[in-house]
Amino acid sequence: MSFVTRRALSTLIPPKVASPKRREFRDQLEAKKQILTEGKSQAIGAAPDAVRMQRVVNFYSKLPRGAAPEIKPTGILGRYQAKYFGKNPSAAPIVHMIAFIVAVGYAQNYYFHLRHHKNHAH
């Protein structure tokens, strides 16, 4: 097999699939060992490239299909962002920010006015 052909076949597997996580890597190794033991009997009259391509096809057939499951938000901030900034955004965060600023401003005025009356009468 020439270098060009070998290089062309190696580009069939994307880099992220070629470097999986550790657990997935172990599962792949076990699957490859099983395929190799089965492949030895198939390779007697067939080309070795056909066995190799069969391994690639088997690998890709075991990958999950379809869209990835939607990740549920966790924590207070994550749920707030999902509710108001997610698929259905609204202007509620602006109203919440205005209410928060008014509440903090009122609390500061109340505190400092009481401190003023502690030492000075009106």
Which residue segment(s) compose the domain that 22 sits in?
3-61
For residue 116, tell me if it sits in a domain.
yes
For residue 78, tell me if it sits in a domain.
no
For residue 45, tell me if it sits in a domain.
yes
- The string of pLDDT tens digits covering residues 52-73 is 888 889 999 998 888 888 889 9
For residue 68, tell me if it sits in a domain.
no
Nearest CA-CA partner of 9 in 46, 68, 40, 55: 55
Same domain, 9 and 55: yes
Residue 15 has pLDDT above 60, yes or no: no
For residue 76, tell me if it sits in a domain.
no
Where residue 49 falls among pLDDT bands split at 50, 70, 90?
Answer: confident
For residue 21, tell me if it sits in a domain.
yes
Counting runs of H as helices and runs of E as strands, what totals does the chain give?
A: 6, 0
Q: Rounded to two decimals, what is the model's pTM?
A: 0.43
3-state secondary structure of 36: helix
Where residue 31 falls among pLDDT bands split at 50, 70, 90?
Answer: confident
- Tally of domains in the chain: 2
